[in-house]
Amino acid sequence: MRFSLPYRRGRRYLSGIDWSMAGLHYHARQTSHTGSYSLVVMELNGLPDAAVFRDALNQISARLPMVHGWTKRDFRNLAPYWHIPKSPGRANIPLTIVDASDDATADRLLSDHVNATNRPDREHLNFLLVRIADGTSRIGVVFDHRMLDAIGAETFLRLIDLTVSGQLEEYASKVKQEEPPHLDVWEKQFAGGKTVFRRMKMIGQRDVCAMAMPPAGRFGRVHFAHEHLTTAETTHFLETASEECGGMPIVLPSAAARAVYAMRAAVPNPPLPGTQHTLFTTASMRTNDQQWEQLFFNHFSFLLLTVGTEVPQSLPDLATATRDSFFDQMKEQIPQSLADAAALSRVSPRWLNQRFNYSMFKGRVCSLYFACLRDGGYKTDTFLGVPIANLYHKPLAFGPPGLNLCMTTFGGRFNLVLSYLEGVMNDTTAATLMRTFKAALLRQDVERHDAKNAK
């Protein structure tokens, strides 16, 4: 089945995953008036020059008008694409500067920034610079997942830094601004669809154990809880994870097992028999050495890890169950199959796509969204000449299930951020979940040492 539909060269056609993110955006607009936005926070040990910062954003805005684009549909082949305006006109990337008396106020301002509702649909980036009274500062970048993924957002921050040092043209010229629609690999896409359908059917045989959603049809704001590991703690966890995966440098299943462990501990109500915890997690599809080519759009796919609620609440048992689920899905090449299958869904409108996605598993899509990124897009330790203390992500949590646990790395240490929808859990439960999650990331090590000592 090798026939190709006509398309226009030079256009940036959206991938199936990009279109899924557009569907998620539509859903978030309908339910919470927000969108598929996320926040990347950079904590600085000083204050960057706001005028230089703004000038760099203006230069990027003019050089890469893609940042002011929007989705359109090519009616010759029904594939969606990213319309890039020829000139940004007077449009700029917004940068707001505010003052805060302390860290807590800065956190609140950043939380308000990402929770803003009714953001213009064509605004894909929005910067907030918070100047804190003690001389430090925080930069919060709200980015649109229709245009950037987490690594892309960090890379965009790096582009600002490089722009200030006069290297915009060198790096912007590498950015890929066109992509064919791949409307010629039908066999691969249908085979992917078959694989995904078979797996979804298997997972769908058991109900998903998830938190109850707020009764109202519309959701409130998203709250955040943030913890981090030290460099030594991160190294300990990476070693433990490797041991749990037969010595191989694999982290995702061990981290996901601890997320399930923490969720079970924080929500003590016993789950219904025969149900399962499911974690909707991202799988990077990025190519090494293509950081700049792959700056824009989404370069990941998904895995749906499952752990039966009958698995005992012990880290070794949960780690084994999660690892087996991970290996099974990797053997079936679920991430690639899902990306291929999603490409077929581009023909349907966003609302229909989203209705289909949310009808899976009787509307209970998963127990929580989970991400564990060991690699980042910002690999230097200064921004506009100011030392960076930390860099982490605060994604919005979409309902259902209204929970998102995100692990990202900066400077050799993990940041842990829990995002939760108002009404899904309260601040106390969220704090317990985070405390347990952090302890679980380190506990296995303690248990191992205890076991050795006991011998």
Partner 1 sequence: MTVDDIQQILINEIQTLLALKPGSVTAETALPTLGIDSLKFVSLVLAIEKQCNVHLMKKGLKPADMATALAMATAIHARQAE
Which residues in the 227-286 window bind partner 1 by CB under 8 A?
242, 246-252, 283-284
Smallest distance, partner 1 to C-beta of residue 205, A: 25
283-302 footprint of partner 1 as x/- string (CB under 8 A): xx--xxxx------------
Q: Which stretch binds partner 1 (CB under 8 A): 96-104, 330-338, 347-355, 383-391?
A: 330-338
Q: Rank residues 224 and 302 by Cβ distance to partner 1 and give the closer one.
A: 302
Does 193 sit near partner 1 (CB under 8 A)? no
**Reduced to 3 DSSP states, what percent helix, strand and coil does the chain have, rounded to the nearest 5?**
40, 25, 35
**DSSP H helical ranges for 7-79:** 16-32, 50-63
Smallest distance, partner 1 to C-beta of residue 131, A: 36
Residues 6+ apart with CB under 8 A from 266: 425, 429, 430, 432, 433, 436
> How many residues sit in the footprint of partner 1 (CB under 8 A)?
21
Smallest distance, partner 1 to C-beta of residue 332, A: 10
Q: Rank residues 246 and 273 by Cβ distance to partner 1 and give the closer one.
A: 246
Smallest distance, partner 1 to C-beta of residue 198, A: 18
Q: Rank residues 231 and 287 by Cβ distance to partner 1 and give the closer one.
A: 287
Smallest distance, partner 1 to C-beta of residue 196, A: 17
Q: What is the 3-state secondary structure (H, E, C) of 274-332?
A: CCEEEEEEEEECCCCCCCCCCCCECCEEEEEEEEECCCCCCHHHHHHHHHHHHHHHHHC
Which residues in the 106-125 window bind partner 1 by CB under 8 A?
none
Q: Beta partners for 226?
A: 417
* Nearest to 314, CA basis, from 407, 244, 383: 244
Axis crossing angle, helix 231-244 with helix 252-266, rounded to the nearest 10: 100
Q: Rank residues 225 and 252 by Cβ distance to partner 1 and give the closer one.
A: 252
Does 331 sit near partner 1 (CB under 8 A)? yes
> Residues 214, 32: contact at Cβ < 8 Å?
no
Could you say which of 116, 330, 389, 431 contacts partner 1 (CB under 8 A)? 330
Q: Beta partners for 418?
A: 225, 405
Q: From CA 387, how far away is CA 332, in angstroms rounded?
A: 44
Q: Rank residues 123 and 239 by Cβ distance to partner 1 and give the closer one.
A: 239
Residue whose structure tokens are 């060991």: 374
Q: Beta partners for 403?
A: 420
Smallest distance, partner 1 to C-beta of residue 379, A: 11
Q: Rank residues 69 and 335 by Cβ distance to partner 1 and give the closer one.
A: 335
> Residues 113, 39: contact at Cβ < 8 Å?
yes
Smallest distance, partner 1 to C-beta of residue 455, A: 21
Smallest distance, partner 1 to C-beta of residue 409, A: 11
Could you say which of 55, 375, 427, 450 contacts partner 1 (CB under 8 A)? 375
Dihedral, CA of residue 261, residue 265, residue 267 and residue 269, to nearest 10: 110
3-state secondary structure of 139: strand
CA triple 52-395-438, angle to 5 deg: 110
Does 305 sit near partner 1 (CB under 8 A)? no
* Nearest to 429, CA basis, from 260, 263, 248: 263
Q: What is the CA radius of gyration of the chain?
A: 22
Smallest distance, partner 1 to C-beta of residue 339, A: 12
3-state secondary structure of 318: helix
Strands (E), 68-201: 70-74, 79-83, 95-100, 125-132, 137-144
Does 448 sit near partner 1 (CB under 8 A)? no
> Residues 167, 317: contact at Cβ < 8 Å?
no
Smallest distance, partner 1 to C-beta of residue 238, A: 10
Does 374 sit near partner 1 (CB under 8 A)? yes
Q: Rank residues 207 and 324 by Cβ distance to partner 1 and give the closer one.
A: 324
Smallest distance, partner 1 to C-beta of residue 320, A: 12
* Nearest to 407, CA basis, from 268, 290, 279, 255: 255
Q: Rank residues 118 and 289 by Cβ distance to partner 1 and give the closer one.
A: 289
Could you say which of 69, 335, 399, 402 contacts partner 1 (CB under 8 A)? 335
Q: Rank residues 210 and 341 by Cβ distance to partner 1 and give the closer one.
A: 341
Q: Rank residues 62 and 248 by Cβ distance to partner 1 and give the closer one.
A: 248
Q: From CA 303, how far away is CA 333, in angstroms rounded?
A: 10
Q: Rank residues 224 and 378 by Cβ distance to partner 1 and give the closer one.
A: 378
In the complex, which residues of this chain contact partner 1 (CB under 8 A)?
A: 242, 246-252, 283-284, 287-290, 326-327, 330-331, 335, 374-375
